[in-house]
Amino acid sequence: MPDGHAPAKTLRTPAALAAAGLVRDDPALAPVAARYAIAVTSHVVGLIDRADAQDPIAAQYIPHPDEALVRDDEHPDPIGDDAKSPVTGIVHRYPDRVLLKPLLACPVYCRFCFRRENVGPDGGVLSEAELAAALTYIRARPAIREVILTGGDPLMLSPRRLGAILAALDAIPHVELLRIHTRVPVADPSLVTPGLAAALETAKPLWLILHANHARELAPEALAAIAAIQRTGVPMLAQSVLLAGVNDSEVGLEALFRALVAARVKPTYLHHLDPAPGTARFRVPLSRGRALMKALRGRVPGHALPTYVVDLPGGAGKVPVAESHALADGAFWVIEAPDGSRHRLADGAESV
C-alpha cells in the first residue's frame, strides 16, 4: 500500500465490476486481471455512460478480454525505461533531466498504460534507502537541471512524503525545475486536499502535467481540483494519448483541447500509442493521427494544439511526427495554409 490512502470504493476485480454492472461475468477477464492491475474509482464510475456500449470513459479503465492478446510488435517495456534506469526509481533518458518514480501505484489503471507490466496496488514505493540512492544520483550529476516525478502517480503519496521529496529536490543547487505527472485530478479529485496542495509549494518552479484523454474527464469535481492546485501558483500543462474509440476524431480532440484550455491547462503532447502488451485495440494508424492534427490546424487556436509525438522504442526519446505544412522547392518553400491554399516563401535573404 503506498504512503497515502486508497480511494474509497475503488473497484479492483472483475467480480466487483460485474456487481456494479460495468462488465458481464466473463471468465475471459480472469487472465487479464491476473496479469494487469484493475482500479476504477467511484468518481470514474460516475462518469461512465452505461447506456453507451462504446463509452470512451469506460474504454480507458474497464478491462477487456482482448488485453490477453499480445502482438509480436508489442513489448513489456516499449519505450526502454529499464535500459535507461541506472538506479532503482530513476530513468535518465535525456542529459538535462531525469524521471524519479517514487511509487508505482495509481488511483486508476489505464488499459493502454505503457508501464502496465510494473504498476499495481502494491505500490512499488521506494524504500528510504532506494530514495536516498536516487537523490544521491541526482546530486552527483550537475548536468541534471530538471526532475520529473512520475510512476505510478506521485499525487497518491501522502502530503508529508510528497513534500519531503520535493523539499529534497528543491535543495539540490543544479536542479532548476521540478515537474509532476498525474492522473489524480481527473481520476480521483478527492485526493487533492488542502494538505496536498500545500505540499506543492516549492522555492523552484514546479509544473504539474495532467493526463487527460477525453473532454468528459474535465468534470466539475476535476475542475475544482485543478483550480485548487492552480491557486498555489503551480502552472499546469496536459498530455494525452491518441486512442481508438476514445478521442480519434476531429470533434473528440477539439473538445478535449478546448476543455483543457478553458480550465487554464495548456495541451503539450498528444502521444501516439506506445505498443505495450495487449493494447492493440487502442491503436490509431500514424497516418490517421497526422491527418487529424493537420485538420485541427486553423480550426483550434494554436495555444490549444499539442505536439503529436512518438516515443521511440529502446529509450531513444520523443520525436514530433505531425504532418509538415512546408515543402522545399529549390530556393523557396511551399507553405500550405489551413484552408489548403499553397504559398511560396523565399528561403532567406540570400535567395531573394
Catalytic residues: 93-94, 97, 106, 110, 113, 115, 274, 311, 318
Q: How crowded is residue 163: how many other Cβ atoms within 10 Å of its Cβ?
A: 19
Question: Which residues contact residue 302 at a Cβ distance below 8 angstroms, ignoring those fewer than 6 apart?
Answer: none
- C-alpha grid cell for residue 343? 504559398
Alpha-carbon 229 to chain mean position: 18
- C-alpha grid cell for residue 310? 512518438
- Decide: residue 349, CB within 10 A, 0-12 exposed, 13-18 middle, 19+ buried: exposed
Cα–Cα distance measured from residue 29 to residue 38, given in angstroms and rounded to the nearest whole number: 11
Question: Looking up cell 529509450, which residue turns up?
Answer: 315
Cα–Cα distance measured from residue 166 to residue 178, given in angstroms and rounded to the nearest whole number: 8
Q: Are strands 236-241 and 266-271 parallel, antiparallel or unpaired?
A: parallel
Evaluate whether 169 touches 138 at the Cβ level (below 8 Å).
yes
Q: Which of 74, 134, 68, 66 is nearest to 99 (CA)?
A: 134
